[in-house]
Amino acid sequence: MQIFANLASNGVLGTDTEPALGDSTRINGKYLIFTPSGVAVEVNSSSYILPQNAGSLPVQIAAGFLERNPAYDHSIYNFFLESTDIAALDLAGGTPSPVVANVLAGTPPTLASSTLGPRCQVGRGAGPAPVGVAPNSVAVLPPNNNIPSPTYGNIVTANQDITPFNPGTPGTDEVMIWWKVATMSTSEDVNHGFGVTSGVNTPAVRELTEVDPSTMLCYASVDNGVTWYQVEYMTPTDLVVADVNLRVAFVNESADKLYLLGYIILFPDLP
């Protein structure tokens, strides 16, 4: 399901069924929140998105996804809606990232990571300059092939100590992750000034097109990025050695700028 929200007020505008991959949705003045397949969330006149508390739609979506997957005990989500969501990312130079040498299972990226930090488009999560983020605007850049050692585009979450989720037996050794990926296009605003179309204005149109989640590579680590494991979309992934320092990385090796619209991480307690 798609949930439409007003870009200026964050008010809920309505819902629609999720279109097929490759179909576009016009989003002028709006943004979208998607629900994972099979997650039922009631949207009515009292529904809201912000603040992200127990009654908000983002929290209800994450809780519904966890409920649909009873093998897991906890969820961590991010729909990139406000500055605190951007603060949950690690944008510093030297951020640990998956490469051939440290991916222990699955397919590693074919390109290198940038030593200058993740290559992405985000708002500002912390000052002193003004902070903020426009929903549906977090993007992972395509590879930079104009340098001797081409680098992929990526986003990496900040290290999260998951001990508070289960202090008695802290840590996890498995994850399952849902994420949503799209491309964006914006047409030109054209004001016709001659001939039979004189005075006719063709407004700019911004469209979002959902693409296959596998277009974006995903990796998880529970040792603060020392080692990584590839995570296939919505697939339980064994991280082998349990630990408490959770990171997730999204890597773009495609030719397109890919917009990451949100993710939900599920993980179980240790026995």
Q: What does the pLDDT look like over 72-102, one tens digit per residue?
A: 999 999 999 998 999 999 999 999 999 999 9
Residue 7 Cα distances to 61, 160, 236, angstroms: 20, 29, 34
Partners of 181 in beta bridges? 211, 260
Taking the CA atoms of residue 179, residue 84, residue 113 and residue 226 in that order, the dihedral angle to the nearest 10 degrees is: -90
Residue 196 has pLDDT above 70, yes or no: no
DSSP 13: E
Enclosing domain of residue 260: 2-267
Q: Is the pLDDT of residue 198 over 90?
A: no
Q: Range with the lowest mean pLDDT among 87-91, 222-226, 245-249, 263-267?
A: 87-91
Give the number of domains in the chain: 1
144 pLDDT above the threshold of 90: yes
